[in-house]
Structure 1
Amino acid sequence: MHNRLQLSATVEREADLRYTPAGIPVLEMWLRHQSRQPQAGIERDVSCEIQAVLIGDGAPRWAGKLTGQCIAVSGFIAQRSLRNPRLVLHIEHVELIKG
């Protein structure tokens, strides 16, 4: 089974950098995507907002630098927690899109 997501989006907002009890850095953010996608032979306007999280060494490196930026990300989706089924994108790679 595969669980991979690639997305280009604008970072709408970032939460403050935080650390898990084990000392692992975590950066939460909300991404806004807009595009035109083919579906059933027609073009469809697509817009969505998705919550994302960057965990590990990349979190402090990107913290405070992404809001308002266009980025390309890749990672996987998972529910937020055992009790919260809302999907969150777990970012494994971030790249700024030069515009």
Structure 2
Amino acid sequence: MNNLEIDVTFIENKGLRYTRTGVPVLEMVLENYSKVIESGIERDIRFHILSIAIGQITDDLIIMPIGCKFSARGFIAPAYRGSALLKFHLQEIYNT
């Protein structure tokens, strides 16, 4: 199973482009800041995650201001074939 549900902040819009078939693609950088419990110890976690949205979901993301907080669902996949670099593929956003 490969599902990710995470609270994020919109940090960087890398621009809207279109595939050869006209499907919109938006690449962006999102940030997560959270507190987790690991082995009984609370940890502060903060990281940036390269992200991509494809299709109709881009309509909502393209107008989103930098700094906007929201929740997202999607999956993680290699940034390109054979890459160790991962990218979060957004499939749903909510709590915007």
Task: Please confirm whether the aligned pair reaches a TM-score higher than 0.5, indicating the same fold.
Answer: yes
**Pair 1:95–1:66, CA change in 2 (3 A):** farther
Paired residues, what number? 96
**Pair 1:4–1:51, CA change in 2 (3 A):** same
Q: Stretches of 4+ moved more than 3 A in 1?
A: none
Distance 1:93 1:39 in 2: 28
Q: Provide structure 2 residue ranges, at least 5 long, that are not aligned to the other structure.
A: none
Alignment match, 2:87: 88
Greater share of residues in strand: 2
- Identify which range, 61-70 or 47-56, moves more after superposition: 61-70
Q: Displacement, 1:23?
A: 1.2
Any idea what the Cα deviations from partners look like across 1:24-48, whole Å, max 9, x if unmatched?
Answer: 1001110111111000011011111
Aligned 1:1-99 pairs, distance under 5 A: 2-97=1-96
Any idea what the Cα deviations from partners look like across 1:33-90, whole Å, max 9, x if unmatched?
Answer: 1111000011011111001111011113421324210010000000011143310000
**Secondary structure of the corresponding residue to residue 17 of structure 1:** strand
Preserved contact between residue 14 and residue 66 of structure 1 (Cα < 8 Å): no
TM-score by length of structure 1 reads 0.89
Q: Among the aligned pairs, what percent are the same residue?
A: 31
Q: Displacement, 1:15?
A: 1.5
Q: CA RMSD in A?
A: 1.3
- Identify which range, 51-60 or 61-70, moves more after superposition: 61-70
Q: Provide structure 1 residue ranges, at least 5 long, that are not aligned to the other structure.
A: none
